[in-house]
Structure 1
Amino acid sequence: RVFLRVGNHVIGTTSSDAKAAHLKSIGCDRVINYNTENVDEALKKEYPNGVDLVFETVGGDLFRSIVDNVAVKGRVILFGYISGYHGAEDTFAVSELVPKLLFKSASLRGFISGHYRDQFHPHMQRLLKLINEKKLVPGIDPVKFEGLESIPSAIDYILPVQSNSNNLSCQTRVIRGL
């Protein structure tokens, strides 16, 4: 939503039609359900010059498609690997990754929020200000879990496709124009 506010073209990838509807409702310019549509083919056809900035949380085949379709001087920010949490076998070797990024002068950067603790407060204040001004509306999943005993159910809920959690509903954001 923040990227939409500043005029970027945002592509959201997701795993279900319900999540796709959610992404469309918050303004994603293009939504790709990677379980029903080939991400690599869609990106090559609709974005022949590649994508400029990607926030990637899925990994696996989706990560491969993203790397294959990143623009010259594009950036991929990796801050999750949900396919690895499911035990999916990764077949994307570093020997494949390096030339794909190098020959495009593209970059891959990992992001762990804990490494930026010193910057958390000012950025959270900006986000809260946008929310208070109604310029940013957070998406909140309606399903509630209460108590420690609900932790296993909550984990089961966010990993499969039924969640509309903002952390997973727009699992990869591909942004043009930055």
Structure 2
Amino acid sequence: AEGLPYDLISMGYPGPVAHNRPFADPANLGKGWAGYDFAAAFGKPVKVINDALMQAIGSYEGGRMLFLGLGTGLGAAMIVDNVAQPMELAHLPYRKGGSFEDYVGERGLEKRGKRKWRKSVFDVVDRLRAALQPDYVVIGGGNVDKLDEMPADSRRGDNTRAFEGGFRLWRDKALIV
């Protein structure tokens, strides 16, 4: 960002965030993220939220929305009447001692193949829809394009909506994060 003009920063972090800071280092990005003071480092106001929540906020169209991000792992967020909540669902138990992430994350796709992976995605969406009762489900993330069809009452998310989510963090006064 050196040399580029900016006034505010929105950061989507691939892991849990508390009090505007990552509280655990991500497995795939190295150490030093947890507790880091980005506002002090940049000298500008910074809002740090979970990356799945960032895309969810950018995809939100009102009501009760469940967002699932299919990527390296499984990102999840729920927004209900403008109240946004990141959710760490990836490591909940699923099948045969595995977690949701083991079946619908990148490892599940590589290990089980596209056909079985897609079947698991549909099943996980159905289970989470039954438990959380969203009005609609948005499925995004880097692997959403590997789905030929979408589960019922869901739509394909666009990863560029994370940028809109970053803007909404600052300008949407009705949004509670």
TM-score normalised to structure 1 length: 0.27
TM-score normalised to structure 2 length: 0.27
- Quick check: which one's helix share is greater? 1
